[in-house]
Structure 1
Amino acid sequence: MVYVIHGATGAQGAPVVAALVAAGKPVTAVTRNQEAVVDGARVVAARYSSVEELTEAYRGADRVFVHLPLASEEDRLTYARNIVTAIRTARPARVVFSTSGASVDPADGGAASTLASGLAGTDVSHAVIAPTQYLENLLMPYVLDAVRERGVLPYPIRADFPVSWASHLDIADAVVALFDRPDVTGVVSVGQYPAITGVDLAEAFGSHFGKSVVFEPITPEEFRVFVAPLIGEGPAADVAGAYKAMSTLPDRSIAPENSAQKLLGVTPRATSQWLADIGL
């Protein structure tokens, strides 16, 4: 079987590649740079902006993992449509798509929902992984430095706001499981359940670092200022807008009935276990 993995040198794709390579699977790593080196994998350069390159990358594939990169929503919509066109043409045996936390509600008309609905129209076996929030967001220098230097964990949610956090390692576990379970289709939620609060996060970080850590709610605008130098002004504004919208919700918890725990027997890491696994 041939496994085609997008973002193979990035945060989401790299753990998937590592898991498959460790299992002895033949991996094709899709990157933007043909000169990239990915241990244990064949590298293919394919841009999201090129239907032809994507089609060639997917041709003959048994399994494909795809997610949309950080970019303007206009570009992401273009990428989503290109991916769907390439999949419809190349017809890989199975596709797993991670929403990266974006909505797949067709009424939203966003890139993630466009890709999810497009996949549904291809008749290609597929599943959609739906995380809520990534624990890796807490590794940003502003957050981690505050934990280490001031004993506070700043983040743009309420202290009592329950979230089903997941890590990129958890996503990789779910992807590999879904590759082996073509009987599981539709949306699979990945995240801690029951959901945990900002206070719980701070306690986990405090226990890991052996110090007192308290949660510090910040505004979406403050967060935008902090992340813009890392991801760009446009994506940062989109992220801030998402957190502003989130502030009107009662929680960001997954639903247990379509969780990875129930459908795949895959349990996401507790925050303390994740901190240990990444060797922080």
Structure 2
Amino acid sequence: MNELVLTYGAGGTQGAPVAHGLLAAGYRVRALVRDVQKNRALQEAGAEVVAGDLADPESVRRATEGVERVFLMLPFTGGGNPLDYAHNAISAAREAGVKLLVLNTSGQTPRQSTGLPMLDYRIHLEQGLRESGVPSIVLRPYAYMENLLGPWVLPRLQQEGVLAYPTEAERPISWIAAQDLGRFAVAALGRPELAGQAFDLGGPQALTGPEMAQAFTRALGRDIRYQAISPEEFGAIMGRMMGPEAEAGIVAAYRASAAAPLDAMVVDMAGVLGALPVPQTPLEDWVRQHAALFGGAPAPASAAGAAG
């Protein structure tokens, strides 16, 4: 295989499984990171780790030289305009004659403008990529299981057995594990004939809040109950980490989600798996993998009734 793939975000939760998956599949991997010293594990795994920043067009151009394929995702934090970052990466890919760019939108792309910049930028992001002429595949993961490792979940789950999240209890969500997004990205990078297509991505199950709590209960071997928290409560937690401007946007986005149809976060994966056949992780299995973070050892599979 031996093709060189440039990966963005390879030092983070979403990007690392892509980089490691590409290495395992036999690709050569170049990872653009802000701090090389903090990404020794990537180097030890066999990646070429180079320093750069999506906000710096020249460093992006240097990183893209000689690259045949690109995995692009944009930082969620750090200030700046994500569309400017995307422009830098896409322009560099076009100049380098990249054969295929796979974009991870890191969230659901609205079907039409919502008036909320935090959501609508993905519409402009996909449009800019299409207009660039760079062959591309778009991946749109709806909701990451890793969101359940945030500070709005962990303290109460550990101390009270409460799974708190800012969505109504009856709303089903197709949660996807970051490791599965990595598998989809690697599969897409190997399918240039799919260029021009976009895939909504979810997990193998669409679960309501109580169904999520049941999966946690089985995986951890102790009673867990679901509690819907308000967008304002969730935003306040995020605001302490990201600032008041981000807090306002997050609150508005979750209010908009609450007004959407009940099945708006449900993904039918049959068509996706026909094009990109990769194994998927049920929530219960994912919770077992992270049991120590949730405050205990995983329950034995026989006692927990693991899903087959």
Normalising by structure 2, report the TM-score: 0.83
Letter in structure 2 aligned against 1:264: L
Residues 175 and 205 in structure 2, CA contact (< 8 A), matched pair in contact too = no
Cα distance change, pair 90–30 in 1 and its aligned pair in 2 (3 A): same
Residues 64 and 96 in structure 1, CA contact (< 8 A), matched pair in contact too = yes
Cα distance change, pair 70–158 in 1 and its aligned pair in 2 (3 A): same
Letter in structure 2 aligned against 1:3: V
* Correspondence for 1:211: 222
Out of 207, 228, 253, the position equivalent to 2:266 is: 253
Structure 2 unaligned runs (5+)? Answer: 293-308
- Matching of residues 2-151 of structure 1 within 5 Å: 2-35=4-37, 36-37=39-40, 38=42, 39=44, 40-71=46-77, 75-103=81-109, 105=111, 107=113, 110-151=120-161
Please give the secondary structure, in 2, of the residue aligned with 1:241: helix
Q: Deviations over 1:7-45 (max 9, x none)?
A: 111111111112222334211111012444223211112
Cα distance change, pair 45–258 in 1 and its aligned pair in 2 (3 A): farther
Residues 204 and 282 in structure 2, CA contact (< 8 A), matched pair in contact too = no
1:262 & 1:236 partners in 2: Cα distance? 39
Letter in structure 2 aligned against 1:76: P
Residues 170 and 269 in structure 1, CA contact (< 8 A), matched pair in contact too = yes
| Aligned residues with identical type, % of pairs | 32
1:221 & 1:3 partners in 2: Cα distance? 41
Q: Deviations over 1:215-266 (max 9, x none)?
A: 100110100112223344333332222111100112211244653x232112
Out of 203, 213, 223, the position equivalent to 1:202 is: 213
Q: CA deviation at 1:57?
A: 1.4
Please give the secondary structure, in 1, of the residue aligned with 2:199: strand
Q: CA deviation at 1:72?
A: 7.4
Out of 250, 254, 257, the position equivalent to 1:243 is: 254
Cα distance change, pair 72–44 in 1 and its aligned pair in 2 (3 A): closer
Letter in structure 2 aligned against 1:160: E
Q: Deviations over 1:92-136 (max 9, x none)?
A: 111111111142546457332222112212222211101111110
Residues 14 and 178 in structure 2, CA contact (< 8 A), matched pair in contact too = yes
RMSD (CA atoms): 2.1
1:41 & 1:72 partners in 2: Cα distance? 24
Structure 1 unaligned runs (5+)? Answer: none
Matched, 1:265 2:270: no
Q: How many residues align?
A: 279
